[in-house]
Structure 1
Amino acid sequence: MYDVFITKSSTYLPNEPVSNDEMETYLGLINGVPSKARSLILRNNKITTRYYALDKQGKPTHSNAQLTAKAIEGLFDENFTKSDMKLLSCGTTSADQIQPSHSSMVHGELNIGRSIEINTATGLCNSGMNALNYGFLAVRAGVHEAAVCAGSERMSSWMTADKFNHEAENLKQLEERPIVAFKREFLRWMLSDGAGAFLLENKPRENSISLKIDFIDFYSYAHEIEACMYAGCEKQEDGSLQSWADYPSDEWLKQSIFALKQDTKILDKYILVKGAESLRSSFDKHNLDPESVDHVLAHISSGYFKEGLKDEFAKVGLDFPWEKWFYNLSEVGNVGAGSIFIALEELMNSGKLKKGEKILLCVPESGRFAYSCALLTVC
């Protein structure tokens, strides 16, 4: 078994940062009316700028595969070239197509000129960590000397007004108020675009910061809790999900079946408690002392959860002081599967890290409540 190190990181955020006041310029107005929920959601999530792979007419400027490829290209240098890449592992919530796989499309964008091993992790925020874990295990087992891992999202194109106008028009015909359900509109003001990538190698780099991956752990609570975030389906009264394939095609637009939705009541009830429970399990499993952790990078979807997450961690004996926490949510937005990559890249290249320090990564996923965490050592 080999030690595994993150030897280089790279981020790609498309176009210029978009302020809160500009969001509807890019995403458009549902039914031609400004959103009444937008200001409330933005006030709670504490995000001030984000990035969209859209122009001001709502037309795409990049695909998800292109965003990911651009982040990965930042990893190549004289020490690791395109020809050195043998394994590509990518995770995303928002692939550009159902098939082929996201990593297949990224491989095509990179113009490597030869075949490589690819792996695609799908799901929600944990798909980025799943992709990282695949690369970690491959290098650790000696299958490859290096791996390129990436997490990315292009959610903006899912959130443009035209995706919801059919539903609003249907509500009009039913003589109801033409307001799209909060569970659908909520995420329009929460999500953004971008990609981050890591190079994993079995040796640290000299004269630069490398991060040794000590472990990556995963926990799912789907055996206890119904789905909270979902797309391509509709939630039934008993909590089950009915697939898009089981609906008549004319209902796909009327009910915005393919829209990403979130049950905010379940979110509030479980997301922090189960996150603390899973992290406590990892600390017990590895016999870790919380005081040994120097930096805490916890992916959160909203600033609304920032205080609560610290409090829930403290309740299970993981009381990390504020000076150890690192967030960039307010500046780059919630990039889902790419968020932890983007945050760690910023910290890794900040000049603040010292050899021997420990970095804790925590990623929640509200799909059906799954969590991951990782511990890194600065080398």
Structure 2
Amino acid sequence: MSNVYITKSSTYLPNEPIVNDDMESYLGLVNNTPSKARALILRNNQIKTRYYALDKNGQPTHTNAQITANAINGLFDENFKKEDMELLSCGTTSADQIQPSHASMVHGELGMNKSVEINTSMGLCNSGMNALNYGFLSVKAGVKNNAVCVGSERFSSWMTADKFDHEAENLKLLEERPIVAFKREFLRWMLSDGAGAFLLENKPRENQTSLRIEWIDFYSYAHEIEACMYSGCEKQEDGSLKSWADYPSDEWLKQSIFALKQDTKILDQYILVKGAQSLRTSFDKHELDPESVDHVLAHISSGYFKDGLKQEFANVGLDFPWEKWFYNLSEVGNIGAGSIFIAVEQLMNSGKLKKGEKILLCVPESGRFAYSCALLTVC
């Protein structure tokens, strides 16, 4: 088995940062009415700026595949050229199409002159970590000498007003208040676009910071809990999901079937406690001393969860002091599968890391409550 190192990282955030007051200029007004929920949601999530692959007319400026390819292009240099890549592993929630696979489209965007193995991980926030794990295991087993792993999102085009106007119009016809359900509007003010990419190799780079991947663990609680975050379906009274394919096509727009939704009732109940439970399991499994961890990078969807997460970790004997935590949510927003990649890239290139330090990664996914965590060592 080979050691596996993140030898280079790169981030791509499309266009300029967008402040809270300008969000509806890009996303538009549902039913031509300013959102009443926006201010409350933004106050709780504590996001100040985010990035959209949109112009001010709500028109797309990049596809997800282009955002991803731009992040990957930042990995290439005199030590690692595009044609040296042996494996491309991509994770996203928001692919541009159902088929072909996201990694296939990214490979096409890169303009390479050779074939390469590709892997696509689809899902929610953990899809980026799943993509990383595929590359990690491939290099560790000696099947590949290197792998490029990426987490990316382009949520903005899912959140433009035209995607919700039909639902509002349908409510008018039913003589109800034309206000889109909170479970759908909630996420309009939470999500951002961007991508982060890692180069994995079986040797560290001399005279540069590399991060050795010690382990990556995954946990799912779908056997215990119903779905919380979903799209392309609608949640039923019994907690089951009814697929878009089982709805008449004229209902797809009326009910915003393809919109990303979140059941906030069960989000608070489980998201933190299950995260702490899974992390405690990993610390016990690897006999890891919490005192040995120097940096904690925990992906959170909202600043609302920041204090609660620290407390839940402390409740299971993982009381990391605040000076060890690294967050960039308020500046870049919630980029789903790309968030942990972008946080690692910022820390890795900050000049603050010292050899031998341990970096803990924690990624929750509220889809049906799945979690991942990883340990890196600075080399």
TM-score normalised by L of structure 2: 1.00
Q: Corresponding residue for 1:270?
A: 270
Q: Does 1:343 align with 2:343?
A: yes
Report the alpha carbon displacement of residue 328 of structure 1 after superposing the two structures with TM: 0.3
Distance in 2 (alpha carbons) for counterparts of 1:241 and 1:90: 26
Report the alpha carbon displacement of residue 26 of structure 1 after superposing the two structures with TM: 0.1
The aligned amino acid for 1:314 is A
Q: Corresponding residue for 2:378?
A: 378
Q: 1:146-203: per-residue Cα shift (whole Å, max 9, x none)? A: 0000000000000000000000000000000000000000000000000000000000
The aligned amino acid for 2:183 is K
Structure 2, gaps ≥5 residues long: none
The aligned amino acid for 1:55 is D
The aligned amino acid for 2:153 is E
Q: Does 1:306 align with 2:318?
A: no
Structure 1, gaps ≥5 residues long: none
Distance in 2 (alpha carbons) for counterparts of 1:237 and 1:83: 52
Distance in 1 (alpha carbons) for counterparts of 2:106 and 2:83: 15
The aligned amino acid for 2:134 is Y
Q: Secondary structure at the match of 1:371?
A: strand
- Percent identical among aligned pairs is 85
Alignment of 1:26-65 (within 5 A): 26-65=26-65
The aligned amino acid for 2:126 is N
Q: Secondary structure at the match of 2:57?
A: coil
The aligned amino acid for 1:102 is H
Q: Corresponding residue for 1:191?
A: 191
Q: Corresponding residue for 1:127?
A: 127
Report the alpha carbon displacement of residue 227 of structure 1 after superposing the two structures with TM: 0.1
Report the alpha carbon displacement of residue 113 of structure 1 after superposing the two structures with TM: 1.4
Q: Corresponding residue for 1:243?
A: 243
Q: Corresponding residue for 1:94?
A: 94
Q: Does 1:234 align with 2:234?
A: yes
Distance in 2 (alpha carbons) for counterparts of 1:12 and 1:183: 29
Distance in 2 (alpha carbons) for counterparts of 1:187 and 1:25: 17
The aligned amino acid for 1:202 is N
Q: Does 1:287 align with 2:267?
A: no
Runs of at least 4 residues of structure 1 off by over 6 A? none
Q: Secondary structure at the match of 1:119?
A: strand
Aligned residues: 379
The aligned amino acid for 1:253 is L
Distance in 2 (alpha carbons) for counterparts of 1:326 and 1:4: 23
TM-score normalised by L of structure 1: 1.00
Distance in 1 (alpha carbons) for counterparts of 2:191 and 2:332: 10
Distance in 1 (alpha carbons) for counterparts of 2:295 and 2:177: 48
Report the alpha carbon displacement of residue 368 of structure 1 after superposing the two structures with TM: 0.0
Distance in 2 (alpha carbons) for counterparts of 1:100 and 1:196: 21
Report the alpha carbon displacement of residue 86 of structure 1 after superposing the two structures with TM: 1.2
Distance in 2 (alpha carbons) for counterparts of 1:187 and 1:256: 13
Q: Corresponding residue for 2:166?
A: 166
Q: 1:113-148: per-residue Cα shift (whole Å, max 9, x none)? A: 111000000000000000000000000000110000
Distance in 2 (alpha carbons) for counterparts of 1:114 and 1:146: 15
CA RMSD after TM alignment: 0.2
